[in-house]
Amino acid sequence: MSPSYDVIVIGLGGMGSAAAHHLSARGARVLGLEKFGPVHNRGSSHGGSRVTRQSYFEDPAYVPLLLRAYELYEDLERATGREIAVLCGGVMVGRPDSRTVAGSLRSALQWDLPHEMLDAGEIRRRFPTLNPDDDEVALYEKKAGLLRPENTVAAHLQLATRQGAELHFEEAMLRWEPYRDGVRVHTAENTYTAGQLVICPGAWAPQLLTDVGVPFTVERQIMYWFQPKGGTARFVPGHHPIYVWEDAAGVQVYGFPAIDGPGRGAKVAFFRKGRVTSPETIDRTVHPHEIRAMADHMSRCIPDLPGTFLKAATCMYTNTPDEHFVIARHPAHPESVTVACGFSGHGFKFVPVVGEILADLALTGTTAHPIGLFDPARPDPRLRSGDGTSTAAASA
């Protein structure tokens, strides 16, 4: 049996890599186990860009965590020299009473976040690539932008290794069990013991965390890249913002500036509108009818964007029924196990602060960060349904 560790981290994607960094930075003896290679594309932490924003339409309770995450983005860039955050500005577009606009405004007002409200004419004037309907408005946030997911994971792994963490790739956990005053973890290669276990399973949550009490649903999502008509010059940061855009039917899309140079295009995707899958059965092929549906939708609001289809890639959301996260001590093993899962398609922007929270919970059993919303025992009746049906999946 290998030597004992203070903490074993299962999964070294976005959340797990951040946990390994923050734990090792505090002097903990850390073992990280990842079933794939470093910075892989088999889960949810890939695709070149992720939206970040502070005026959070999902719930104002997320805002303090976002403010801390922004500080940690800067720390990560300074420590590694990698590009992590590009704060190019962003618009949340829709009818004034849409969730995207009204929810964003609610958070901005509650937390006194800098923002502007733009009518349709002002949106067109400020951002000529966008073509809103006359009855649509936008909340503009200067501090919104994008994150580089692969760079973020690589940076956290780099720091964790530098700080003495032992990271094993291509080594999947087979099972774990309570052992003495901690846990014992089995892989095909070895058996390890530790005082604490942190599980960051991503889309494998339905398999690994059946006893948490939350029904998780994995949803296949697609990211698309199009070369705009006339090229990318009008779609670069400073001219074309990140956006979340909700239409009259409640369908949301999100997208980015062209950030990777001429010929690489601009990325766009539906926010939701996926289909239920699993990591083993996900269809990695993007079909012509899916590309047409994305292009048709975008042609109405950004007419020059779906000029030429370049490529597409799949990823996965792991949804909870209320689309809020699960970050907590394991309800069945609160003395030795911490879990972070169910990020429901909007978790990556929180990666560095989630790593900080997981280090708090594993090493002290508590955290000063406000995470009550993420308790698996929260009193939402949908969490107690047990039927495995997610609100997001049901709307697909």
SS3 percent helix, strand, coil of the chain, rounded to 5, is 30, 25, 45
Amino acid at 238: G
- Two tokens at 211? 């006893």
Q: How far is CA 208 from CA 14, 65, 148, 329, 339, in A?
A: 17, 26, 28, 15, 10
Spatial contact of 375 and 324, defined as CB atoms under 8 Å apart: no
The pTM of this model reads 0.94
Instruction: Enumerate the known binding-site residues.
Output: 6-36
Look at residue 1 in the predicted model and tell me its pLDDT: 58
Q: Tell me how far apart the alpha carbons of residues 257 and 146 are, in angstroms, rounded to a whole number.
A: 9
Q: For tokens 């609001």, what's the residue?
A: 301
Report which residue type is found at 307.
Answer: G
* C-alpha separations of 161 from 20, 143, 155, 156, 387 in Å: 9, 31, 10, 9, 41
What is the CB neighbour count within 10 angstroms for residue 246? 22
Inter-residue contact 258 to 377 (CB < 8 Å): no
Q: How many CB atoms lie within 10 A of CB 171?
A: 18
Cβ-in-10-Å burial (0-12, 13-18, 19+) of 395 comes to exposed
- Residues in a beta bridge with 270: 253
Q: Would you give per-residue pLDDT tens digits along the chain (396 residues)?
A: 556 999 999 999 999 999 999 999 999 999 999 999 999 999 999 999 999 999 999 999 999 999 999 999 999 999 999 999 999 999 999 999 999 999 999 999 999 999 999 999 999 999 999 999 999 999 999 999 999 999 999 999 999 999 999 999 999 999 999 999 999 999 999 999 999 999 999 999 999 999 999 999 999 999 999 999 999 999 999 999 999 999 999 999 999 999 998 889 999 999 987 899 999 999 999 999 999 999 999 999 999 999 999 999 999 999 999 999 999 999 999 999 999 999 999 999 999 999 999 999 999 999 999 999 999 998 764 554 333 333 332 222
Is the CA virtual torsion 67, 22, 195, 174 positive or negative?
Answer: positive
- Confidence (pLDDT) at 379: 78
Side chain identity at 303, as an amino acid letter? P
Two structure tokens written together for 340: 């972070």
Three-state SS sequence of 71-101: HHHHHHHHHHCCCCEECCCEEEEECCCCHHH
Are the beta carbons of 141 and 117 closer than 8 angstroms? no
Q: For residue 331, what are its two tokens?
A: 């309800």
What local confidence, expressed as pLDDT, does residue 262 receive? Answer: 87
The pLDDT assigned to 389 comes to 32
Enumerate the known binding-site residues for FAD: 6-36
Name the β-bridge partners of 266: 226
